Each structure stands twice: as C-alpha cells, then as structure tokens.
Chains A and B, each alone.
Chain A
Amino acid sequence: MVEAILKTEKLTKRFGGLVAVDNVDLELFKGEVHAILGPNGAGKSTLVNLLSGDLPSTEGSVVFEDQELTGLPPYVISHYGVGRSFQKTNIFPKLTCFENVWLAAQSRQKTSMRFFRPARSMKAVESLTLSSLERCGLLHQKDSAASSMSYGEQRQLEIGMMLATQPRLLLMDEPMAGMGKEESEMLVSLIKDLAKEYTLLLIEHDMDAVFAVADRLTVMVNGRVLETGTPDQIRSSQQVQEAYLGNEGGF
C-alpha cells in the first residue's frame, strides 16, 4: 500500500485573467521520484511555487503529511519538511560554499535570535553543514566563494543548501537547466542517490534524465494535468503523444 506524502486538491493560481495552474489534483507517494513534464508555460514552476509557499494559491489546498500547507509562508513550510531548489540559481554569491550551507543548517536550530555566542561554536550546525556538503559533492570546495564556482557547482550548492534544511520532500525546479552533458550526468547520479532517502518532485526538460530517474510522471499542459502514470504509461499514452511529445518529436 503506497502512502501519499503530499496531496493537492483543485489547486489553482490565476494571474489576472491567466490561469497558470488550473484545478491540479496531485498525489506524491512517499519515497517516489515524481517528475512533472510539460511545454513552456504549462505552469510547472508556478505549481512548485504554490507548493513551497513562494506564491499564494487562488483556490484549492495543499496537504503535506496531514499538515495543511495552504496559505503558509515559505519559512514555515520549510520547517514542516519541504525543501526546494530554484530554477534560477539562488545562492549567496559573496559567501563561501560553507557559509551558504551553514545558513541553511543554522535554520534548523530552535531559534537564531541568539546574540552572544559566536555562531561557529555550534557543533550541531557544523556537522549538519559538513554532511550536507559531502552529500551534494562539494566538501572539497567548501572554502571557495560561491560566485567563483562553476555553474554546475552552483547548482550542486543549491541542492546542498536544500539538504541542510533536513527536508523529507524535495521540490527541485529544473536542477539541470543550462548544464553541460557531463554535469547533467553527475546530477542524475546525485538525484538517484537522493531518491534512496527522500521523496522528490522534479521539474525537468531533459527527457533522457527524466525517464532515467522518475518513478512516475505527470504531464501538464496549459496549467492542467493531462495525465499521470509510470514512464511506460506516459510513453504509450495517445493523449500525451498528441498534446506534447508528438509536436516535439519526443523519443
């Protein structure tokens, strides 16, 4: 019996007259890698922003592990165990790799409203920082300024920061966007490694990567869910072929 970790019901986001996300019912199973496919403008990123609280939804609800997330701000959702990485690299460029991840790890303390003790004396934060850096493969780079690292490494750092917030569900918005072939392969293996421990919601354009890592796929078109299923089901779906894959010459 599979257990749902996240469930949306009739989730809708309107920007004026434009319906970016339209009545989306989505169910993520615990432990799965769930990829969302769809052409540009299908509402994939907006959906992630609704789940992470970066955007308020117009209608509908989001429930994560029996906890209602609808209408909560991002910092609360982060504490409930939902981590996210961004499509456009979103780091602290002037700080070192270590400092970037440190700040994320420090957020797991009860409070950071502490004024007297030096932050660096907190051993628990330090070990969480180091283990997150190791997990995302940047331990050897920890003292480099984030802005001086390669694009691929900055994407890894993005993931490292997310891991340091000790999430159970990872929302990854195009983690491979703009990466070269070698970097993509590295990231696919990182995602496969993360999949052993976390539930993942993945938005990705790279078809090879998606079919290599995803357990289930949801195809979105014009803000609506067209179909959800295993990679095989999606591949053979007439509807998907017509609406999306067919036009792009998919496989």
Chain B
Amino acid sequence: MYNTPRSITLFLGFLFILLLCYPLYGDLIFGSKSSFYMQKLTTIIIFAILAMSLDLLVGVSGLVSMGHALFFGFAGYVLALISPEYDAANIWIVLPAVLASCAVIGLVVAFLTIKTSGIYFIMVTLAFGQMAFYFFNDSDFAGGSDGMYIMMKPAVMLGDIQLLNLESKQTIFYTSLACMALVYLILRMLLRSPFGQVLVGIHANEHRVKAIGYNTNHYKIVSFVIAATLAGLAGFLAATQYGFVNPSQLGWHTSGYALMMVIMGGAGTIFGPALGAFVFEILHSFFESFTDHWLMLMGTVMIAVVLFLPNGIGGALLEFVRKLEKKPVQAQDGEKSDG
C-alpha cells in the first residue's frame, strides 16, 4: 500500500535540492526581491507541512476535517502567550509545550468528534474551528481581533552556544525546510507501520476493519492527535516567522485553504499535498497580482482539478509514472467488480 515509485522520490529530491539552493541563485533571478521571495517560500513550506498533516486525516484515514487550522492557529497563540514579553523564549521549553498543548486539544476534539462520520464529521470539526476562532477573536488576554505579537523569536541555545538564530530569515527558511522533510519522513514511516496499515483499511472499509478485530475509533483518535501535533509544528513555525498571531489563522478560511491544497495535490499521497501547497500559493500570488478577486480564479482552477485530475497532482504523477514503467499492476480494472 502506498509505495512511492523511485522516479517520484528522485523528482521530490530534485525539488528539495532546488529549494535548498535557493539562497545561492535567488539573488541572480530575483535581484533585490530575493529576500521577499525567500519569506514567501518559507510561508509556502509551512503551509506544505500543514497540508501534509491534514492529508493524514483526509487522504489516509478518510476523515475530512474542516477545522484543521484550529491547531495551526492555536499553536501560535500558545507560543505568544507563554513567551516572555521582552525576552526570547527558550525553544526547548516552548516547542514541546506548544506541541503538547496541540496534542491535548487534538485529543479532546477527536474524542468528541470521532464517532461521527461523513458530513457530520465535517460540520463538527468546522464548528470546533469556529469556536476557537471566536474564542480568540473576543478575548482580551489574547489581543482580540488584532491578535498578539511575539517580540523576540525563540532562542535555540545549547548551553551558552547559539545553535540557530531564528531572527535571520535564511535560518527560518532552512529550519522550515528541514521540518517539512522531517514531517514527510514521519508520515511515510507511519504509513508503512502496522498503525498506518490499519488507517488505510479504515479509509477503504471501516466496517470490515471492525469485523476483523480492530477498535477503529482508537486508531482514528490517534491519527487525529498526530495530525493535530504536526499542524501545531506548522503553526509554531508560522508564528515564529511572522512574529504575530491573529484569529484568522484559526478560522475556516485557513482550514479551507489547507483542504484545497490537499485536494489539488492529491489526497492520500502525502507528497501530493505538499506540492499542492506550492501550486496553490504560487497561483494565489499570481492571481492576486492582477485582481483582488483571486478566489474566483482559484475556484475555477479547483473545479478544473476536480474534473480533470480527480486524484490531484500527486495522483496524476503516480499514474504517469506507472504508465511509463508499464507495470502490469492493475491490468484490467474494467470488469464489473464493485466491493
């Protein structure tokens, strides 16, 4: 189940190296705008982490969450709230605290939503996301609709030695890139593990998975908590990069964008949603450069993707590679054989 063909791994590796070398050629291509584009790329990389974490729910476990940004924004708020006001926070304390709080909130939300399915799951996760949005939007302690500032970025120290200076744009860029690679590898490992096999089964036919002896709710809850924690990592990076958080980061718009990235990129492929994040955000910038109504154009693209690439960019790539390799994997699927 879900083996990435070698050629796709090579292709992903190539893209990764392209990103890795951006500081080398950025100035040559974009000149004085190079630094701006590096920040833009950092934002996209962080969205790619969010989209991959959502793919664990949507594409792998079959849980379509419309409230995934809750954990993304919540992580930023936790960081802002626990950071000292005029001093840099210690990353070895704040990062685990942020991830743990996202895991706990994820567990609570999962516990209350996991018994629903289909449209009800979508509505309940949406409701939780909006609850969180209004909670922070109307809060005095967290700056209301203005949000909060993180004056000093977390310090990454080992004893007295500074390992990373997160005030530097380039360091944030590389840190995010490393986190993206790490999250990708974690998710791949999960998919191959016994746990991941059960999730794939749940997505395909939950009733049958119960019948062969799995308590499917437990597996769904754990996958929800993992996805929430990884979304929290993305939120932590985003808040560190921007230096502020506001309620819109937890709202349903952000959740919706993440879901669009997953669908555009190809649900269930893990690498697809990361590509989806890049395509989505690059199109976003492009459309926005000539109209404020960029969402209308994006909607058109979404409709085209759903119609012509139902398995997203990732799915299309996989199919293309399989055709090239001419592996007789599923030679005839046309036989009438519905499960």
Contacts and interface: CB of A to CB of B under 8 A. Distances in A.
A117 B194 contact: yes
Nearest to A118: B192
Interface stretch (B99-107, B209-217, B234-242, B294-302): B209-217
Main secondary structure of the interface of B (DSSP, over half): helix
Contact of B194 (A114, A147, A148, A161): A114
Interface stretch (B79-87, B153-161, B165-173, B327-335): B327-335
Given A106-B198, A118-B192, A89 B339 contact: yes
Given A115-B190, A147-B333, A148-B335, A90 B196 contact: no
A113 B213 contact: no
A103 B330 contact: no
Nearest to A107: B213
Given A93-B204, A99-B1, A112 B195 contact: yes
B323 interface: no
A118 B188 CA distance: 10
Contacts, number: 117
Interface in A145-196: 145-151, 154, 161-162, 164-165
B337 A112 contact: no
B337 A147 contact: yes
A124 B216 CA distance: 22
Interface string B221-232: 010000000000
A239 interface: no
B189 interface: yes
B333 A84 contact: no
Contact of A115 (B193, B207, B333): B193
B197 interface: yes
Nearest to B198: A112
B212 A161 contact: yes
A117 B195 CA distance: 10
B218 interface: yes
A148 B204 CA distance: 16
Nearest to A90: B208
A75 B214 contact: yes
Interface string B61-83: 00000000000000000000000
A75 B213 contact: yes
For the complex of A and B, the 3 pairs showing the least CB-CB separation, nearest first, are A78-B213, A93-B339, A107-B213
Interface of A: 52, 54, 73-75, 78-79, 84, 86, 89-95, 99, 102-104, 106-109, 112-120, 122, 145-151, 154, 161-162, 164-165
